Amino acid sequence: MVSGVSAPVKVANETGTVVAMPSPAATSIHVDGVSMCYPLAKKKQRTVLENISLEIEDGEFVVLLGETGCGKSTLLRMILGQERPTSGKVYVSGKAVERVDARSGYVPQKYSLFPDRTVLDNLTMGPETSKYHILGRLMPGFRSFRKQVRKEAMRQLEHMGLRPTDAGKYPHQLSGGMQQRVAIAQALMMKNRVLLMDEAFSALDPATRASLQRLLKTVWNESKPTIVFVTHNTAEALYLGTRLIVLARSSHEDHCGSKVALDMKLPGNEAGMSLKKNGQEFLDLVDYVERFSRGNRHDDQALDESAVDGEEEAV
Ligand SMILES: Nc1ncnc2c1ncn2[C@@H]1O[C@H](COP(=O)(O)OP(=O)(O)OP(=O)(O)O)[C@@H](O)[C@H]1O
Ligand SMILES: [Mg+2]
């Protein structure tokens, strides 16, 4: 066992997984026996996710890992309500998710801003349209509401390290890193308790990525939203998360979907785990997690320390 990190709370086996149930009041996201199949040619179908059950508590920072094509984005889209599972159900704050759910903020890898609107309009549009429909904007309260929303948008911009002058710019006038800062600010404007992020930093250069990781950690430390963050980068996952979930398929047969292969608590402290701070323990953990990602290890044997190659990049 890797020291300083709690044991996996559940590991998949051929009979499925057992989930420790928190009290309903503390549950933010409940994924209940969800499977997802996509049709293939000749009336065949491919199972992408197979009977996934998860209880995510309010304020958890869940990092979701797994090989490409294992269904991470599909699971995120189901929590958002963009896709309906073939079977099973998803609940957010106790309510079934039936369609795109305004209670969840969503930050994709890139291109989430409206290109023909300024940064300020991108930030204010969500709160304005959710509270006032087009005719409602003629009502007397709208002007003061709008002023308030604009003030909050400027505050969020500053919080994200952007300048007031950036408010009037269009997305194409910003770098990729700045656009992602605006996208995070856009999601935070809605004051959602749930934030879903799909490889939100993977298109960025390492320095920008590191600064956004620190920023997100600060945001989480301040208001403890529930975050589900999809990444391919194990080091990023260990730095950010309070809980790490790996999806993996046990076989590449079409009828075998991904299951939860590893679900473990992380220290989740303000500093996060990194090679610099945690040294060999960090490398051991990266190796341990990546074996599950590859789907080639489903037991709980002691780690083979000789397998650590030491080449994993720090966050
Ligand atoms: N609308 C769809 N119709 C058919 N197949 C789909 C659809 N959406 C996803 N898939 C398939 O489901 C599988 C899982 O896709 P998904 O995008 O969720 O994987 P992922 O884990 O996010 O991968 P990556 O790490 O590359 O982003 C893939 O094989 C993909 O081709
Ligand atoms: Mg994906």
- Separation of 224 CA from ligand 1 center, angstroms? 29
- Separation of 195 CA from ligand 1 center, angstroms? 21
Going by their DSSP bridges, the two strands 194-198 and 226-230 should be labelled as parallel
Tell me: do 199 and 148 sit in the same domain.
no
Tell me: do 301 and 199 sit in the same domain.
yes
Within a domain: residue 314? no
Tell me: do 120 and 157 sit in the same domain.
yes
**Which residue range(s) make up the domain with 31?**
8-103+194-307
Instruction: For ligand 1, atom 27, name the residue with the nearest CA.
Output: 68
pLDDT at 165 over 60: yes
For ligand 1, whether the C-beta of 122 sits within 6 Å is no
Structure-token match 């998860």, residue found: 54
Tell me: do 212 and 238 sit in the same domain.
yes
Neighbours of ion ligand 2 (CB under 5 A): 73
- Half-sphere exposure for 188 (CA within 13 Å, toward CB): 24
Euclidean distance between CA atoms 113 and 119, whole angstroms: 8
For ligand 1, whether the C-beta of 69 sits within 6 Å is yes
Q: 29 - beta bridge partners?
A: 56, 92
Query: Which comes out higher in pLDDT, residue 171 or 129?
Result: 171
pLDDT at 253 over 90: no
The CATH number covering residue 96 comes to 3.40.50.300
Q: 149 - beta bridge partners?
A: none
- Over pLDDT 70: what percentage of the chain? 83
Tell me: do 299 and 208 sit in the same domain.
yes
What mean pLDDT comes out for the span 206-218?
A: 90
- Separation of 284 CA from ligand 1 center, angstroms? 30
Q: Of 191, 209, 231, at which residue does a domain stop?
A: 191
> What pLDDT was estimated at residue 296?
57
Instruction: For ligand 1, atom 31, name the residue with the nearest CA.
Output: 69
Query: For residue 182, what pLDDT band results from cuts at 50, 70 and 90?
Result: very high
Tell me: do 213 and 83 sit in the same domain.
yes
Within a domain: residue 198? yes
pLDDT digits (tens, 9 = 90+) for 70-95: 999 999 999 999 999 999 999 999 99
pLDDT at 31 over 90: yes
Tell me: do 200 and 285 sit in the same domain.
yes
Tell me: do 185 and 239 sit in the same domain.
no
Q: Which ligand is nearest to the Cα of residue 67, counting in written order?
A: 1
Pocket test for ligand 1, best of 49, 73, 82, 110 (most atoms within 8 A of CB): 73
Within a domain: residue 147? yes
CB 238 within 8 A of CB 285: yes
For ligand 1, whether the C-beta of 278 sits within 6 Å is no
What mean pLDDT comes out for the span 58-66?
A: 96
- Separation of 73 CA from ligand 1 center, angstroms? 7
Q: Of 191, 213, 238, at which residue does a domain stop?
A: 191
pLDDT at 16 over 80: no
Sequence-distant contacts of 202-206: CB under 8 A, at least 24 apart = 202/109, 202/231, 202/232, 202/233, 203/109, 203/110, 203/176, 204/176, 204/177, 204/180, 205/177
- Separation of 97 CA from ligand 1 center, angstroms? 20
Tell me: do 206 and 162 sit in the same domain.
no
Tell me: do 207 and 137 sit in the same domain.
no
pLDDT at 14 over 50: no
- Separation of 71 CA from ligand 1 center, angstroms? 5
pLDDT at 24 over 70: no
Within a domain: residue 3? no
Q: Which ligand is nearest to the Cα of residue 84, counting in written order?
A: 1
Query: For residue 143, what pLDDT band results from cuts at 50, 70 and 90?
Result: confident
